[in-house]
Structure 1
Amino acid sequence: EFVPHGAKDIRAFVIGDRVVAAMLRVSNTWKTNIWRGATPLPLEVTEEVEDVAVRAAKTIGCEVAGVDIMETERGLLVNEINSQPGWKGLQSTTQVNIAGEIAEHVISRARD
């Protein structure tokens, strides 16, 4: 099903039970991948985005995931869950040390 989304979407980076960073990706086409030329913009994470992203990642058993979310007339819709997400655009846009966040999570889980 094609879902109109205004050539933009949200990438929420989930680690464990939280979204550590998110960005809005704006494109000239329906494809909003950064490597395809979309522009990344910083985005403050709302409770709704965090809830949708974390639930989506947990549903498929991912502790680390890039969850792509579209804002539509029907509300927030998950478009894709990436179990091996890239974070170059996200890290440069948000200034969050994604690798450091992943490392901290792994160390914390190892201690549990």
Structure 2
Amino acid sequence: MRLLFDQNLSFKLCQMIADLFPDSNHVRSHGLSEVADRALWEFAKANGFAIVTQDVDFAELAGLLSAPPKVIWLRAGNQTTATIAALLRRHAQTIQSFESDDSAACLEIY
């Protein structure tokens, strides 16, 4: 699964989980840090990314528009980058299963 981290998450996550999700990127690397949510949604959809976010707006878009793209909504509150990386590692199997579940558009991770 290709993950696209939104602007509220560190770009360092791409390197920290590269062994599990090697083609992941950050919005910053695509010049998308300041775009509207819908523009980011369309970019992720066109480029085969799942959006990783702490923003409820993307979860709501997933409910409204369905997938693609899929949304991974991190519900752990403000945490360090290392804690977020550990959270993604802990749920890597669930994330992989989520990718293949055509009926699911949003995965909430706590």
Same fold (TM over 0.5): no
Q: Which has the higher strand share?
A: 1
Give the TM-score normalised by the residue count of structure 1. Answer: 0.24
More helix by share: 2
